[in-house]
Structures are given as structure tokens and as C-alpha cells.
A = this chain, B = another copy of it.
Amino acid sequence: MPSQIKFARCGVITRPMNDVAVAENISPQLVHEQVADGTMVIPANIIHLANNLKPIGIGRSTKIKVNANIGTSTTSSSIEYELEKLNSALDAGTDTIMDLSTSGNLDEVRDRLIRKCPVPFGTVPIYEMVLGRNVTDIDEKVILDTIEKQASQGVDFFTIHAGVLKEYLPMAAKRVCGIVSRGGALIAKWILEKNRQNPFYELFDEICDIMFQYDVCFSLGDGLRPGCIADATDEAQIAELKTLGELVARAREKNCQVMVEGPGHVPFNQIQENMELQQKYCRNAPFYVLGPLVTDIAPGYDHITSAIGGTAAGFYGASFLCYVTPKEHLGLPDVDDVRQGVIASKIAAHAADVARGLPGSANRDKELSQARANLDWKKHIADAIDSKTAQQFHDSACQKSSGKTAADDDYCTMCGRNFCSVRINKELTKIHGKK
């Protein structure tokens, strides 16, 4: 069965393309054209699609999407808890899920998560390859078998760190933070210990063949992404980015869908340049960024540093933001961290959509603001990105203020009735109306 890009290139508008067009309020023709030329991807493994997947489009003509990472760690490995995280992420509105599990029965974890996951589901297959074996024991068979096995389970996109080339490692050795990508570090170790080229690069055509067969979308991993401000936009990052650009062309030639992963830690003033370089080198493949974090000094608040960088990245060219939770750099996120991470990234994605003038994106802002100006608390809160939290904050503030109740009131506890500018404004409108 052909991939979405192959269908598009053959002139077929598929059901997923139509679904994306409807969801995004754009024409099926536009989706079709962009899937054909690779500037939009619809990560939709044929197995997942035949089951419970609702396809989404990722590219510059659609709303910017958000990914939530979940998964077991060697320090915490309950499937039930990962299912809770999945639900937390979906409830907060994540557009995709990545399962980064590294302990327990990975097949079972993956299988149970996919069955409950109606959004595109991604993995980083090298995590499974290294489980229970030394990294140097990863060989061609392990790589291709693992990828095929996971593809057959319905995974919609794979992070493949095929751009971490042997010749780039000395560049990364000079850095303040070296290689911070887990997959990148594992591959670097393989390369250095075996003194051979990156096996994912060497096997790229074979990997493409499996990806095509199930229509798994590539997410070309940036194993050399900068791990701190000081390493941003350096030689190693840019060298890898150029290689990822070549791999984009090779994947597309093989009728595979492909997106490219990006940094990481980038100071605010370098974000525009980073996005432009990616678009240039990577042939406008959808850009999937982690953060970027605009400062290193805020562990505990890196959902915020990421929301800042993510907004700028989305404005200047990224199509897909990987969330960062408040626990980043400190520990494994819990269910609430997952929620906080998704919301922060969704704020960034939406702010970027509004800023880049994506048609219709500012409507929700206007409607909420009209409700706010009308002191229509019900609609104000219903339109919020996280109505539960907004309601809870409003209610708790009301309770603290001697019996004031939230419902249909003409002010809030922030300023109190006499100092409520919104209420005074309604009076002003009446005076203006009279004149």
C-alpha cells in the first residue's frame, strides 16, 4: 500500500488528506500538493490508521502542532502510570505522543499505549535496540528488525539519528555540553567504539524501504543539537543539519514522508537564523523543534523557557513543537508535569499561529476577549486554553473574598467592583452611546 506522499504524487487525494483539509479549514488540493512536495506530512502508519488514528497534518499551512513525550524510565516503569500520562496529555490537547520508554516490556508498553492513542504516535527505536545489550552489539539486523517490528505495531513516526556522522564528533567534543541527545550520545558511542560510520546513515535506504511499507514518517533526529546556549548554532549542529537536508531528499525520493528535528537550547536572537537555515538546508521539510530553550538558568521552569523559544520558532518557521515539562533536566515528569508541558507548548503554538497570521487563528482570542469585555465569565472560561484551571483559579479567588460567588458577577476579585476597568468601561460605552 502506498504512502501518503506516494498517493499524492500519483494524484490521489486520500481520506487522511481530506480529514486534514477539514480540520484545518483549507482545501484538499492544498493538502494534496504539499504532501506531494513534502512540505506537509501526515504521519499515519497504515496499521494505526486502520485502527484508531485521527490523522493530522504538519506543515506551514496548518496549525502548529504540539508533541508530548511520555514513557517508562529505569527509575519508574508502570504501564498504568504511562496510560495516565497519555490521558493527561490528550486531555490537555496534545497533537501527538512520543513513547520514549526505556524500561519494562517495551513491546507491551508500546502496544497498550498505541491502542489508547488516537493521535500520531512516535518512538525512538534505538532506545529499544540498546535495551539489554551493549550499544556496540547493535548491528544491521538489530536495527532493521527493531524498526520493522515497531512499524508493524503501528508507530506513526520514528526519530532516526542518521545525521550524526563520524566526522562531526570532534566538533561536538569541543562543546560546553557535548552531545545531549540520548540517541545521539548512544550513536556517538557506537561510532567511537567501533570506529565506523553511523549505522543508521549507512542503512538509510533499507530503513526507507521499511518506513515506506508502513508509511512511517521520518523524524530525522538532531543528535548533535545544542544542549546549552553557549553551544547554539555551532559547527556540529550546522554540519548535521546539512546532512539531514540530504537525507530529506533521499527519503522523499524513496516516497517516504519526512520531517526534521531541531534544537534544543538557542538564545532568542538566534532563533530566526536557525529556522531559516533549516528551511534552506532541509528543503522546507516540516521542522520539529524541542523548545528551543532561550536560557539555561531556569531548571524547574523550562516549560516557560521553551514556550518563549517555541513561539519565536513557530513564527519563523517551525511547524511542530515538542513540549518540555517543568521537570526537564531534573527528573522524570509526572502526570501534572505532562499537563503543564502540553499547555505551555500549546500557548506557544497558538501565539505563533496568531503572529504569522494563519487565517482564523486569532478568532478565538477575539471571542474570548469579547466575553471578557462583557463580563461573561462562563464564555470567558469556556474559551480558555485550559478551562479547568481557569475555572478553579476564578472560583478559589471568589471563595477567598468573603462569600462572593463566581457566577454571572460583574467584576472579579483581582480589582474588586469599584476598580474593575471592565465594568467602568461598560458604563463608558453607555455614556458614549448617549452622545
Q: A residues bordering B, Cβ < 8 Å? A: 73-76, 102-103, 127, 130, 169-170, 173, 176-182, 184-186, 188-189, 192-193, 227-230, 265, 267-269, 294-301, 303-305, 307-308, 311-312, 315, 326-332, 334, 343-344, 347-348, 350-352, 354-357, 362, 364-366, 368-370, 372-373, 380-381, 383-386, 389-390, 393-394, 396-398, 400-402, 404, 412-422, 424-425, 427-429, 431-432
Contact = CB atoms under 8 A, between A and B. Distances in A.
Contact of A419 (B102, B303, B334, B390): B102
A75 B415 CA distance: 8
Nearest to A352: B268
A76 B228 CA distance: 43
Contact of A351 (B102, B267, B369): B267
A181 B362 CA distance: 22
B179 A327 contact: no
B347 A418 contact: no
8 contacts: A74-B418, A75-B401, A103-B416, A177-B373, A178-B422, A294-B354, A300-B393, A301-B343
A93 to B, nearest CB: 12
A380 B362 CA distance: 40
Contacts of A327: 393, 397, 414
Nearest to A189: B424
Contacts of A427: 189
A315 B268 contact: yes
A131 to B, nearest CB: 8
